[in-house]
Amino acid sequence: MSSFEPVKIGLVSVSDRASAGVYEDKGIPALREWLGRALRNPVTYETRLVPDEQPQVSEALSTLVDDAGCDLVLTTGGTGPAPRDITPEATLAVADREMPGFGEQMRQISLRFVPTAILSRQVAVIRGRALIINLPGQPKSIAETLQGLPQAEPPVPGIFAAVPYCIDLIGGPYLETDPAVCQAFRPKSAVRPAPAQPGSPQ
């Protein structure tokens, strides 16, 4: 048994073609792979693959939070300026509060690679006791956005470093990260002692 708190995470891939089976979705597997390396908590995933239709995206998000009880929901895809890119609107439609710093930092990370990063419209919001974040659609960009660019000069922090403390503040579980992948930041007053592992000396 893990001594870390369990967490439930919703993963939503927004894509007309992937949801229709035209090609294989790569967003949800990329999210699971990165989270599997970054988090030390036992994770239960709830996944949804939906087309670029605002009502369906909003329904998926609200259901994951309200009915499935997800503490964190990550979306991938549908955040550009094209007419069918409606993920930000669908996310804002279910929001209690917006968290603009996440979108600002995501664009800063992507601008290290392409000037078209300014076309991204990713948002992050709070609904109830859950944090919902829009991420890019490409697996490489997903990892860079979450993890940051630790080898850059100066290093660029990824957005996930702020996620555990945000979830603390809204009443969710205490997320523990593997520092080799992502060093979560908390004020000293908010840091809990590491739990004893089974079989370790007390």
Residue 195's pLDDT band (cuts 50, 70, 90): low
Phi and psi of 133, rounded to 5°?
Answer: -130, 130
Query: What's domain 7-190's architecture?
Result: 3-Layer(aba) Sandwich (3.40)
Kindly list the domain boundaries of the chain, sorted by start residue.
7-190
pLDDT digit string (tens) for 42-79? 999 999 999 999 999 999 999 999 999 999 999 999 99
Asked if residue 173 has pLDDT above 80, the reply is yes
Look at residue 72 in the predicted model and tell me its pLDDT: 98
Neighbours of 74 (CB within 10 A): 26
Kindly tell me the sign of the dihedral angle through the C-alpha atoms of 13, 17, 19, 22.
negative
In contact, 47 and 28? CB cutoff 8 Å: yes
What pLDDT, in 10s, does the model give residues 77-130? 999 999 999 999 999 999 999 999 999 999 999 998 899 999 999 999 999 999
